[in-house]
Amino acid sequence: MKNIFIAGLIAVSATTLLVASTVKATQSQPLEIENEMIFIPGGEFLTGSSENEVQEYKEKFGKREMYSSHHFEDEVPKRKVFIKSFYIERHEVTNREYLRFIQASGHHPPQHWQAGMYLGGTDDHPVLFVTHDDAMAYAHWAGKRLPTAEEWEKAARGTDGRVFPWGNSFDPYKTSTADSDLASILGALCSVNSANRVEIAPDDVSPYGVHDMGGNVREWTSSSPKGNPSLKILKGASWVDLHVNARAAHVEYAPYNSLSHIIGFRCVKDIEGLRAL
């Protein structure tokens, strides 16, 4: 949780760097990007990080306040895990999609929506300020579920143990993190409560064709750290995080009832469940 609140302060400070003319130039028309389901084949994949990799990350980022108390060791060991086949959504659930859920189910809207409606022009931005329970309620309504942390990681990095969805080297032009190219994150910096439009970083794509698993917003999973079910594992980086979070093996934790401007979610569906529809 410490990281989430510090990240919020960074985001607010960053907004002061932008001028009105630039903000206007970045506005885009709603695209209604289709959130198709991507097939992730069953089999083994490499999850986690090695002790040497973790030591490298600690030396590079551990002295920063945001990461001074971070448990990088939780990524160890790097190991093979078998995952059954499943489908995962192409990108995070958007405001437009979440609104349909609210209208159909009567579920309460996110707290920052005005009169039950999100900010204009953010149809295709990830829904934010949703708790783990809110995300599960949406998933149940949609006939889906939240991914486990391991399912999410496989969908992000494939089977070759790559560090980022696109490969082993960080490229600031490929995703939306705090150290990304300004052109990629400008939209989020202009509005703290909206993040970026989904798929605004076209190269943030996993080997399977899943988008936005490196940056934009952190995402809820159904997994908890061992012995602490009140916490839930978050995967992926947000637009206010440094690229160390964009690694597929990176792990964050948050209480299940947390609300944040940098947390969203996407859903998965079991093969059996999909065929039953």
DSSP-assigned states of every residue in 229-269: TTEEEEES--TTS-GGGGSTT--EEEETT---TTEE---EE
- The answer to the question of residue 22 being in a domain is no
Q: Is residue 84 part of a domain?
A: yes
Domains of the chain: total: 1
Helix (H, G, I), strand (E, B) or coil at 159: coil
Answer whether residue 86 is part of any domain. Answer: yes
Indicate if the pLDDT at residue 116 is higher than 90.
yes
Q: What is the pLDDT of residue 188?
A: 52
Domain of 126 in residue numbering reads as: 2-12+38-276
In a domain, 32, yes or no: no
pLDDT value for 31: 56
| 130 within domain boundaries | yes
**Is 29 part of any domain?**
no
pLDDT at site 18: 29
Average pLDDT value for residue range 80-104 = 98
Residue type for position 107: H
Please state, for a pLDDT cut of 70, what percent of the chain lies above it. Answer: 82
CA–CA distance from 177 to each of 120, 217, 232, 239 (Å)?
24, 9, 22, 4
For 191-211, the DSSP string reads -TTT-PPTTSSTT-B-TTS-B
* Banded pLDDT at 27 (limits 50, 70, 90): very low
Is the pLDDT at 251 greater than 80? The verdict is yes
Residue 250 lies in a domain: yes
Each residue's pLDDT tens digit, 131-169: 999 999 999 999 999 999 999 999 999 999 999 999 999
Local structure of residue 93 (DSSP, 8 states): P
The answer to whether residue 179 is domain-embedded is yes
**Percentage with pLDDT > 90 across the chain:** 74
CATH of the domain at 230: 3.90.1580.10
Task: Tell me if 178 sits within 8 A of 239, measured CB to CB.
Answer: yes
Q: Mean pLDDT throughout 231-240?
A: 96
